[in-house]
Amino acid sequence: MKFLDQAKVYIKSGSGGGGAVSFLREKFVEFGGPDGGNGGRGGDVIAECADGLNTLIDFRYQQHFRAGTGVHGMGKNRTGADGEDIVLRVPVGTQIFEEDQETLIADFTEVGQRIVLLKGGNGGFGNAYFKTSSNQAPRRANPGQEGTEKGIWLRLKLIADAGLVGQPNAGKSTFLSAVSAAKPKIADYPFTTLHPNLGVVRIAEREFVLADIPGLIEGASEGIGIGDRFLGHIERCGVLIHLIDGTNEDVAHTYQAVRHELAAYADVLADKPEIVVLNKVDALPPDELKDKIEALKKVSKADIRQVSGVTGQGVEQVLFDVLAILDADKAAIAEAERKQTEEKWTP
């Protein structure tokens, strides 16, 4: 399945049906009168968060969505049928924006969430509606209300507990394949990963979702390389695993370059908890490994984890670090909710 995380679509709600002008003409009925029914309502355009989807690829092949038009009213006081609603099924993590790409309409984080994007037009009144004591035979009816239309942007941000960041060839895909059942493409050239990958990590009878995004290079925020468009997929992560290729000459500069790109994209990424990991330590002599760890400590001011995605050395410790940070976040959220509840019920 191809991965698509952004799409523009055009939506139009259904127009309402027109009211009918009709009079009862029936044998043996002495007094007839107006009996024109009302028109049916136009269909709504609805967005729904559905299970089993992980890409917006369906919207590459269909960009126009139109709800059904209401049926016109008929004689004998028959109301027209309502137009059929149209439902846009989107994956969890989808955000819907207005055409300006800045005004947020909806943010779907749970399966089953629904929102009406455009309401259908009202049906017009038939002439029976206008009957009064002073106007017993009205010859007028309302047309149905026109539907509305607009363009919207769909943007997918994957929902993962932890995200892998680093420069190309830092070993992110190898790390993901080592800790989960995911099978990302792995090769010895830059930008092997061209779209995000997800894997479910299971450890100590626990599990969490890990996201791997394409590598970041210096100047990615200015469009160099693949750019920074995939960074949106780790905005929802609780923790970042920053992988640095231990075979690089200047690991400190590599670390700072990626941190600069994260900060240039959004402050929310720069402020996220981070686990700094020196990868490919199996390929380094002890003296060189020691020097590079010291250099990384100096610029990151954090404990440096030493791992090898190929041999599995140190991988388990990184996963336990992730669980510890996720548990601390959940505890902080639960405590904040508890205090909020206490303040609400305290007189």
Q: How far apart are CA 17 and CA 79, in angstroms?
A: 9
What is the model's pTM?
Answer: 0.73
Domain membership of residue 139 (yes or no) is: yes
CATH number, domain with residue 85: 2.70.210.12
Query: Is 79 annotated as contributing to ligand binding?
Result: no
Range of the domain at 14: 1-157
Query: Is 212 annotated as contributing to ligand binding?
Result: yes
Query: Is 191 annotated as contributing to ligand binding?
Result: yes
Domain end point (choices 124, 157, 190) = 157
Q: Which two tokens stand for residue 33?
A: 């009168």
Query: Is 329 annotated as contributing to ligand binding?
Result: no
Q: In this structure, are residues 161 and 239 in contact, taking their beta carbons and an 8 Å threshold?
A: yes
Length of the chain: 347
Domain end point (choices 157, 183, 202) = 157
Query: Is 51 annotated as contributing to ligand binding?
Result: no
Q: Which residues are registered as beta bridge partners of 275? A: 241
Query: Is 103 annotated as contributing to ligand binding?
Result: no
Total structural domains within the chain: 2
**Matching residue, tokens 């969430």:** 113
Query: Is 281 annotated as contributing to ligand binding?
Result: yes
Identity (one letter) of the amino acid at 115?
Answer: I
Residues 141 and 206 in one domain: no
Identity (one letter) of the amino acid at 194?
Answer: L
Residues 147 and 167 in one domain: no
Query: Is 77 annotated as contributing to ligand binding?
Result: no
Question: In the prediction, which pLDDT does 1 show?
Answer: 46
Query: Is 214 annotated as contributing to ligand binding?
Result: yes
pLDDT by 10s per residue, the chain, length 347: 456 788 999 999 999 999 999 999 888 887 888 999 999 999 999 999 998 887 888 898 899 999 999 999 999 999 999 999 999 999 988 999 999 988 999 999 889 999 999 999 999 999 999 999 899 899 999 999 999 999 999 998 877 888 888 888 888 888 888 888 766 666 555 555 666 777 888 887 888 888 888 777 776 666 665 656 677 778 888 899 999 988 888 888 888 988 888 888 878 888 889 999 998 888 888 888 888 889 888 888 888 889 888 888 888 898 999 999 888 888 888 888 888 887 777 66
DSSP 284: S
Residues 8 and 86 in one domain: yes
Domain end point (choices 104, 133, 157) = 157
Residues 96 and 240 in one domain: no
Query: Is 225 annotated as contributing to ligand binding?
Result: no
Question: In the prediction, which pLDDT does 90 show?
Answer: 93
Query: Is 308 annotated as contributing to ligand binding?
Result: yes
**Cβ-based neighbours of 144, under 8 Å, separated by 6 or more:** 15, 16, 17, 18, 19, 39, 42, 69, 70, 72, 121, 122, 123, 124
Residues 233 and 251 in one domain: yes
CB burial string 21-51: b at 16+ within 10 A, e below: bbeeeeeeeeeeebbbbbbbbbbbbbbebbe
For residue 104, report the phi and psi dihedrals to the nearest 5 degrees. Answer: -80, 125
**Cβ-based neighbours of 265, under 8 Å, separated by 6 or more:** 221, 228, 231
Query: Is 309 annotated as contributing to ligand binding?
Result: yes
**Cβ-based neighbours of 3, under 8 Å, separated by 6 or more:** 55, 57, 195, 196
Domain membership of residue 347 (yes or no) is: no
Instruction: Identify the three-state secondary structure at position 189.
Output: coil
Query: Is 267 annotated as contributing to ligand binding?
Result: no
For the beta sheet containing 64-66, the strands, ordered from the edge strand earlier in sequence to the opposite edge, are 64-66, 6-12, 149-156, 94-97, 104-107
Query: Is 38 annotated as contributing to ligand binding?
Result: no
Query: Is 173 annotated as contributing to ligand binding?
Result: yes
Q: In this structure, are residues 42 and 97 in contact, taking their beta carbons and an 8 Å threshold?
A: no
Residues 145 and 3 in one domain: yes
